[in-house]
C-alpha cells in the first residue's frame, strides 16, 4: 500500500535484530522459565537500593520529571569522576547515540564504524542520511590504524565501543591516545564504554580522562549492564562543554522518567551490588573459558559480561537446539559473523545449564 513518503535514506536502514525473548521460547517450545543469555543483562536483577528508590518514586508519577536530572547527574559525576555539567542523561545510551547523530550528522557526511560492532551505530547514523564507512577489524579487535586511514574531512563521527560488542575485546590506553591525537577537532570521536565496569585488562583507560583536553571526545555509559537497569533505561554522555551544550539543546525535555531518575541515582551509589556483579561475571567468564575449552571450542577472551564462542558451520543448528532446551544465546548472523554464538554470563547455575545443554547438542 502507498503511504506518506519517508526521507529517501530511511529505506536503507536495516532493522535492529534483538535477542530472542523468553516469551518467544515459551510460546514456541512450551518451556516455562527459559534462561536468557542473549542480551548481556545483569543476572542478579536490579540492585535492592534501586528497587526501593523506584518504589518510592511511583507516588510522584502524576508530575513531570526533573528535566535537568540533577540528582542522577550528581550521582553519575561521583561515579564517573567528572563534573555534573559534563553529563547528559538519556533514556538508555541508545537515546544518547541518537542525540549525537542528530546533532553532528547531515546527509552525505561520513561515519566510520568498525565492521564487527554494536549495530545501533549504523542505524542511528543512517537515520540522519549519513554515509557509513566500514573499518576493517584486526582479528577480533577494533583497528585504530584502519580507522585513522579512512578518516577524512568528510568524517563527522567515529564510533568505537571500548570494550567492543560482540567481540569483548578492548583497546589499550595507547590506542585510544593514538586515535584521539590523529583525528582533527572537527571529527566527533564517540567512545562507548557500556561494558567498561567489567574490564580486567590492565592497559585499559576510560576516555572520561580525556574530555577536559579534547572537546571532540564523547564517552557513552549505561546502567543497563553493570547496574542491572536495562528495563528502566538509563544512559549517559560524558563529554566537554561543546558536545554537552549541543546535545542539551535537542534533548527532549522530559526524556528521563521519574523511576529511572531515582533508581538510577540509587544504583550508582550501591557499591556492594556492583562488587557482587563483577564477582559473578568474572567467575562466570573463567568457568565458561574452562568448560568451553574442554569441549574443544575456541573463544575470544572477553573484557565484558559476555563471550564469543566459535561453534563452526553447525552454529545455527546448535543455537536452535539450545533454544529447545530453554537456553537463549545470540547467533551472530545479524552481526555478519557466521559460525559464532555470543553468550552472556548468567548466575552460576545458569552457566552450568548452558554448558550441559551445549555438551548435549554438539
257 binds ligand PMP (CB under 6 A): no
* CA distance linking residue 250 with residue 243, whole number of Å: 11
In terms of C-beta density within 10 A (0-12 exposed, 13-18 middle, 19 or more buried), how is residue 135 classed? Answer: buried
* CA distance linking residue 187 with residue 189, whole number of Å: 6
* CA distance linking residue 325 with residue 356, whole number of Å: 10
* CA distance linking residue 346 with residue 116, whole number of Å: 24
Strand segments, DSSP code E, in the chain are: 35-36, 87-90, 110-114, 131-135, 137-138, 141-142, 155-161, 188-192, 217-222, 235-239, 299-300, 306-310, 327-328, 330-331, 340-344
Q: CB of residue 39 vs ligand PMP: minimum separation in angstroms? A: 7
Q: Which of 125, 224, 246, 277 binds ligand PMP (CB under 6 A)?
A: 224
Q: How many chain residues bind ligand PMP (CB under 6 A)?
A: 13
The residue range among 56-64, 70-78, 89-97, 140-148 that interacts with ligand PMP, by the rule CB under 6 A, is 89-97
Q: Which of 20, 42, 47, 93 binds ligand PMP (CB under 6 A)?
A: 93
x/- map, 158-197, ligand PMP, by CB under 6 A? ---x---x--------------------------x-x---
| C-alpha cell, 2 | 502507498
* CA distance linking residue 167 with residue 172, whole number of Å: 15
| Binding residues among 27-46 for ligand PMP as defined by CB under 6 A | 40
Alpha helices, DSSP H, located in 212-331: 241-250, 258-269, 271-294, 315-324
The residue range among 41-49, 91-99, 124-132, 168-176 that interacts with ligand PMP, by the rule CB under 6 A, is 91-99
Q: CB of residue 93 vs ligand PMP: minimum separation in angstroms? A: 3
| Binding residues among 112-141 for ligand PMP as defined by CB under 6 A | 118
Q: Which of 75, 89, 94, 187 binds ligand PMP (CB under 6 A)?
A: 94
Q: Report yes or no: 219 and 191 within 8 Å, Cβ to Cβ.
A: yes
Q: CB of residue 96 vs ligand PMP: minimum separation in angstroms? A: 8
Residue 148: Cβ within 10 Å count: 16
The residue range among 86-94, 108-116, 132-140, 348-356 that interacts with ligand PMP, by the rule CB under 6 A, is 86-94
Residue 39: Cβ within 10 Å count: 17
47 binds ligand PMP (CB under 6 A): no
Nearer to ligand PMP, 17 or 250 (CB): 17
Nearer to ligand PMP, 195 or 273 (CB): 195
235 binds ligand PMP (CB under 6 A): yes
Q: Which residues bind ligand PMP (CB under 6 A)?
A: 40, 92-94, 118, 161, 165, 192, 194, 222, 224, 230, 235
Amino acid at each position: 500500500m502507498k503511504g506518506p513518503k519517508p526521507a529517501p535514506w530511511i529505506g536503507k536502514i536495516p532493522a535492529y535484530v534483538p535477542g530472542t525473548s523468553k516469551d518467544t521460547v515459551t510460546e514456541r517450545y512450551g518451556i516455562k522459565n527459559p534462561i536468557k543469555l542473549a542480551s548481556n543483562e545483569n543476572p542478579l536483577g536490579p540492585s535492592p537500593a534501586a528497587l526501593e528508590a523506584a518504589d518510592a518514586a511511583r507516588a510522584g508519577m502524576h508530575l513531570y520529571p526533573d528535566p535537568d536530572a540533577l540528582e542522577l547527574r550528581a550521582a553519575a559525576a561521583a561515579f564517573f569522576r567528572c563534573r555534573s555539567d559534563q553529563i547528559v542523561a538519556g533514556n538508555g545510551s541508545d537515546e544518547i547515540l541518537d542525540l549525537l547523530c542528530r546533532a553532528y550528522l547531515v546527509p552525505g557526511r561520513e561515519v566510520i564504524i568498525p565492521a564487527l560492532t554494536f549495530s545501533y551505530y549504523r542505524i542511528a547514523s543512517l537515520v540522519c542520511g549519513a554515509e557509513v564507512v566500514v573499518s576493517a577489524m584486526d582479528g577480533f579487535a577494533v583497528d585504530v590504524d584502519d580507522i585513522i586511514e579512512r578518516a577524512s574531512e568528510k568524517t563527522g563521527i567515529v564510533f568505537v565501543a571500548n570494550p567492543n560488542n560482540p567481540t569483548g575485546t578492548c583497546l589499550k590506553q595507547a590506542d585510544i591516545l593514538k586515535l584521539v591525537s590523529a583525528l582533527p577537532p572537527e571529527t566527533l570521536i564517540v567512545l562507548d564504554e557500556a561494558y567498561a565496569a567489567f574490564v580486567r585488562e590492565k592497559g585499559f583507560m576510560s576516555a572520561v580522562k580525556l574530555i577536559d583536553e579534547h572537546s571532540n571526545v564523547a564517552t557513552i555509559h549505561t546502567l543497563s549492564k553493570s547496574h542491572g537497569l536495562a528495563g528502566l533505561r538509563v544512559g549517559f554522555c560524558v563529554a566537554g562543554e561543546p558536545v554537552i551544550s549541543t546535545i542539551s539543546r535537542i534533548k527532549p525535555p522530559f526524556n528521563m522518567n521519574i523511576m529511572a531518575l531515582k533508581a538510577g541515582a540509587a544504583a550508582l551509589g550501591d557499591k556492594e551490588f556492583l562488587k557482587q556483579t563483577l564477582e559473578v561475571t568474572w567467575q562466570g567468564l573463567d568457568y565458561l573459558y574452562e568448560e568451553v575449552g574442554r569441549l574443544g571450542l575456541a573463544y575470544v577472551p572477553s573484557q565484558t559480561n559476555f563471550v564469543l564462542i566459535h561453534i563452526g558451520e553447525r552454529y545455527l543448528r546448535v543455537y536452535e537446539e539450545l533454544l529447545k532446551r530453554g537456553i537463549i544465546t545470540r547467533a551472530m548472523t545479524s552481526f555478519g559473523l557466521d559460525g559464532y554464538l555470543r553468550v552472556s554470563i548468567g548466575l552460576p547455575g545458569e552457566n552450568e545449564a548452558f554448558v550441559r545443554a551445549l555438551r548435549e547438542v554438539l
